[in-house]
Amino acid sequence: MTSAPSIMESRRLGLCLVISAPSGAGKSTLVGSLRRQFPHFAYSVSCTTREPRGSEKDGVHYHFISREEFVSRRDSGRFAEWAEVHGNLYGTPKGPVQKHLTAGRDVLFDIDVQGALQLKGVFPQGLFVFILPPSREELERRLRGRGTDTAEVIARRLGNALGELRQAVHFDYLIVNGDLDLAADELRAVYLAGRARTENRPDMLSALLAQWGA
């Protein structure tokens, strides 16, 4: 006799967790912490025309491509969203995301505000999180402290932060990255609650009801 399927094995839909923030707010730090806690996450590796920074690896942190190549991929509809951010082009390749979601894998996106709002149109059921810096002063301190960007790049990113913060109201969740542990806890809570949404567990109830023969 075959036993009824475990409810934990029932089909789960992959969910999109989309995280945006002004540069320097600590998004990469928080995304890194979430990925360590949930290694099953699929990460959407973006294409960009910017130069690799520090120890960044092609195909891992980004696909580093020329502007010409980017425009050609964009014009043939290969991006789920794209945007020009701080003078460089960034885009989310469509194919891998669709593959992960269909396979029930959750996908994490680290993208800018313009891109996140475009994705809201594509994946309205996604979780859209905006990371806030605790203050302007602290944002500037973090940008300088990171030590990876020139003074000119830092000034541009700080200037762009205002426009980005004005868009934060369109996101589902606001997390202040003051105390890192607290911010990481809040992000984890948002993800776990999203995962437990009824719509993301379409077969769970029927798998349980089947144990009553229903």
Site residues for ligand ADP per CB under 6 A: 21, 23-29, 142, 145-146, 177, 180
User: How many of the other CB atoms lie within 10 Å of CB of 20?
Assistant: 25
- Under the criterion CB under 6 A, does residue 89 sit at the interface with ligand 5GP? no
Q: Choosing among ligand 5GP, ligand ADP, none, which partner's interface includes residue 15 (Cβ < 5 to 8 Å by kind)? A: none
- Under the criterion CB under 6 A, does residue 165 sit at the interface with ligand 5GP? no
Residue from the set 15, 49, 70, 91 that interacts with ligand 5GP by CB under 6 A: 91
CA-CA-CA-CA torsion for 186, 187, 190, 191, nearest 10 degrees?
-140
Which CB sits closer to ligand ADP, 154 or 210? 154
Contact between residue 213 and residue 7 where contact means Cβ atoms under 8 Å apart:
no
CB of 2 to ligand 5GP, least distance (A): 44
Name the residue whose CB lies closest to ligand 5GP: 115
Q: What mask, x for binding ligand 5GP by CB under 6 A, covers residues 100 to 119? A: ----------xxx-xx----
- Under the criterion CB under 6 A, does residue 50 sit at the interface with ligand 5GP? yes
CB of 55 to ligand 5GP, least distance (A): 13
| Rounded-to-integer distance, Cα 97 and Cα 25, Å | 25
Write the DSSP assignment of 37-54 as a string of letters. Answer: H-TT-EE--EEESSPP-T
Place of tokens 């509809």: 77
Write the DSSP assignment of 97-150 as a string of letters. Answer: HHHHHHTT--EEEE--HHHHHHHHHH-TTSEEEEEEPS-HHHHHHHHHHH--S-
Q: Choosing among ligand ADP, ligand 5GP, none, which partner's interface includes residue 107 (Cβ < 5 to 8 Å by kind)? A: none
Q: Choosing among ligand ADP, ligand 5GP, none, which partner's interface includes residue 81 (Cβ < 5 to 8 Å by kind)? A: ligand 5GP
| Rounded-to-integer distance, Cα 189 and Cα 129, Å | 12
| Rounded-to-integer distance, Cα 54 and Cα 33, Å | 19
- The binding site for ligand 5GP (CB under 6 A) comprises 23, 46, 50, 81, 83, 85-86, 90-92, 110-112, 114-115
